[in-house]
Structure 1
Amino acid sequence: MSADRSTDRFHGRIQGGGRQCAFPRCYEAGEFRAPDPHGQAASGNGPGDYQYLCLDHIRAFNAGYNWFAGMTADEISMAQSPIYAWPSEARAFRANGNVDSPPKWADFKDPLDAISTRFRSRMPQERADGHFLSPEDRKALKTLGLGEDADRRALRSAYSAKVRAYHPDKNGGNRSHEKALQDVIAAYTHLKNQSAFA
């Protein structure tokens, strides 16, 4: 990129190409790229053909250009959808708009520690059996009083013991442990569906 282009007040100007404006009988330099109405249209195979216009003619082109021309109402609605440019679900490095969050997927691998160094304390941790535990998994295990390498049998045993300890029916109707019981049920419900405890 030349020094001139980086400070150019006209966004999109392409200098130094030696092209002439594509508008008939215009001899100005074609420094601005626009879709070529006579060329191949944009498709899944690429952006299509371009023409190069001078400043005056790119302004006229932009003023009269209708990207939605020829589309049905459904096609326009689809094109305006936020997922139009990337219609499949993508894994993101941001959660709830928080840029400083680690990746959320359990099978994340980072052999060069490019990302995990920054988020080491919050990254999913690998167990001895090769399964990963997210921070939520570790919190649930702590609620049940289990270590990170606990198996499904230990999970069920700890859950049963905690329910017996906290349930009002086992404590003469004492409801003071209701919150602890709810936490235990939530922790067990979360963990029993994780691959580490299948």
Structure 2
Amino acid sequence: MATKQSKMHGRVEGAAKRCAVRGCRAAGEFRAPLTPGDFDGPGSWRWLCLDHVREHNAKYNFFAGMTPDEIEAAQSPIPGWDRDRQTRVFTAPGADPGPAWSDFKDPLDAISARFRPGIPRREMSRFSGEERHALGILGLREDTDLHKVRKRYSELVRRYHPDRNGGDRSHERKLGEVIVAWQKLKVARAFA
């Protein structure tokens, strides 16, 4: 009886069996199913030496006997989702959209906000929380477009830049905030 399983190569140390291959005198330290495709459940095992278990593994092909469609389905990163009829439908046609996740720190609060009865939800924004903050730094509202954002950014850079203020660096922090806000808004999904 095997007492200890090694982490290396699946070797079972202390196995008192001989290799199951006829004529081989080596110790059978590795378990292998009787046939390569017979591994459903506990099954029947045979003990092999290192050389014969390598030979056994080289012959094994999980996809043997499968059609190309079955192979593709087995390799899918999301198996079952396309076939599972019991999967819950997360949205229904005509249903109100869920709350913006960016408005909440805890995902459970966002989920419960959707189903809280009697509490009116805030209108969905096309901007994330960070993007709304960036709009505030530029002094713009959510109904703006990218052209207005670019124009306002240019105005504020000219206003706060030290070269335009006779070398006065007192507005550098504000200039940095304006630049960061522009970097955030120029790639906003709302303007895509």
TM more than 0.5: no
TM-score band w.r.t. shorter chain: 0.3 to 0.5
